[in-house]
A = this chain, B = another copy of it.
Amino acid sequence: MDAARLHEYTDDMTQALSIDDVDRPDITRSDGVVVEVEGAGWCQTDNHIVEGMWTDYVEQTLPMTLGHENAGTVVDTGEEVTLVEEGDKVICHPVMTCGKCRPCRLGEDMYCENLDFPGLTTDGGFAEELLTAERSVIKLPDGVDTTDIAPHADAGITAYHAVKKATRELNPGDHAVVVGVGGLGHIGLQCLDAMSATTITALDLKEEARDLAEELGAHHTVDPSSEDVAAEIDSITDGVGAQQVIDFVGRDETTALAPDIVAAGGDHHIVGYGGHVHEPSQSLVDGEFSYKGTLVGKYPELQELVALVDRGDVELRTSRYDLDDINTVAERLEHGEIEGRAVITP
């Protein structure tokens, strides 16, 4: 079958992946599941993987098929699988977990001590078929399109995961700031609006992104290139600051906003990872705020997000591309030229 594979790390996205002919996956474990991929989202993390930015954090053996935001139809199952059967439409949680280690037993999928991450540590979904496991698939409600929903497998639950943590701390009258209304941010914004009664302010350099934010429920928007963000948030929040800031950008200039815009006792959630956190310790102490790193969401959180999609609360802006066009997608995302999320249909 065809698969888009990374052979060596490069900063040249036009050469990111090559389309290889590889064997279809075999099930070797009792809980194996093979999915015919009908949608595989391309995301910023794919660019980072191509650039070699994850080699410090995980082990990767090249060549490797990328693609960690997958949905499709079950075509084969291991002998002890009961959760799904052939023909079922599923979305795939991005990681394969053991279900036995203490983190798994605590429900903390992402901390699994025996974790595989197809598309990051093993072959992913930019291919006709994907080998995953029973603990990674969620059967979709009738009427949910596998191609449309694919990016929720990672972009969606990452945004959802951060927002869920934030909403637990937010009350009516409180303020939340969404930094960056791109692929993740525009999902996070809708989750925030659906799950809380908070006043939302969205920050983005692009006018179209700010317009989209307003359309999706933001009460205020700020343009950091022409407005003084600290002063605007101060004015919007009556000098109190935002109880929760969700930073989908994570660059030096966005993390540096925290001391000025986070309310006392509040949180600055780091979702994007384009740069550094750099602050005096005294600044965290004086404002008693936190920088909270936030990873991909858990399997049950993907179930919750699917429920939100099924309720009509979250709309995903997607555009579809053939497997052959995958490097064009990589190149265009690198230059910020993809609106919403690009989905490959292998």
Contact A293 B283 (CB under 8 A): yes
- The 0/1 profile, CB within 8 Å of B marked 1, for residues 88-123 of chain A is 000000000001101111111111000000000000
Q: Mark A129-145, 1 if CB is under 8 A from B, else 0.
A: 00000110000000000
Question: In the bound complex, do residue A111 and residue B197 qualify as a contact, i.e. CB atoms below 8 Å apart?
Answer: no
Minimum CB–CB distance from A46 to chain B (whole Å) comes to: 15
Cα A299 to Cα B281 in complex, Å, equals 24
18 contacts between A and B (CB under 8 A): A53-B282, A57-B282, A57-B286, A105-B303, A168-B168, A171-B304, A172-B195, A172-B304, A195-B195, A197-B311, A271-B285, A278-B278, A283-B293, A284-B292, A288-B293, A290-B290, A290-B291, A290-B292
Q: Which residues of A contact B (CB under 8 A)?
A: 29-30, 53, 57, 80, 82-83, 99-100, 102-111, 134-135, 164, 168, 171-173, 194-197, 250-251, 255, 263-265, 267, 270-295, 298-300, 303-308, 311, 313
CA–CA, A275 and B264, complex, Å: 20
Expressed in whole angstroms, the minimum distance between the Cβ of A201 and any Cβ of chain B is 15
* Cβ-defined contact, B279 with A276, below 8 A: yes
From known contacts A290-B293, A305-B172, A313-B197, infer whether A250 and B300 are also in contact, taking CB-CB under 8 Å: no
Contact of A135 among B30, B99, B103, B271 (CB under 8 A): B99
Min Cβ gap A106→B in Å is 5
* Contact A100:B135 (CB < 8 A) given known A80-B29, A288-B293, A293-B283: yes
Which residues from B are CB-within-8-Å of A272?
Answer: 281
**A114–B299 Cα gap in the complex (Å)?**
18
Taking CB atoms, residues of chain B closer than 8 Å to A313 are 172, 197
Complex alpha-carbon distance, A196 and B192, angstroms: 10
When C-beta atoms are compared, the residue in chain B nearest to A298 turns out to be B105
Complex CA distance for A247 and B277, rounded to whole angstroms:
17
Q: How far is the CB of A248 from chain B (nearest CB, A)?
A: 11
| Distance of A277 Cα from B276 Cα, bound (Å) | 10
The interface residues of chain B lying within 8 Å CB-to-CB of A197 are 194-195, 307-308, 311, 313
Bound form: Cα–Cα A280–B56 in Å: 12
B196→A195 contact, CB < 8 A: yes
Task: Give complex CA distance A288, B112 in Å.
Answer: 13
The residue from B80, B250, B293 contacting A30, defined by CB atoms under 8 A apart: B80
**CB-based closest 5 A-B pairs:** A284-B293, A107-B107, A173-B307, A250-B281, A273-B282
- Min CB distance A280 to B, Å, is 6
Q: Please, which residues of chain B bring their CB within 8 A of the CB of A172?
A: 194-195, 304-305, 307-308, 311, 313
Smallest Cβ distance from A137 to chain B, in angstroms? 10
B108 near A264 with CB under 8 A, answer yes
Q: Name the residue of chain B whose CB is nearest to the CB of A196.
A: B195
CB-defined contacts of A29 to chain B, threshold 8 Å: 80
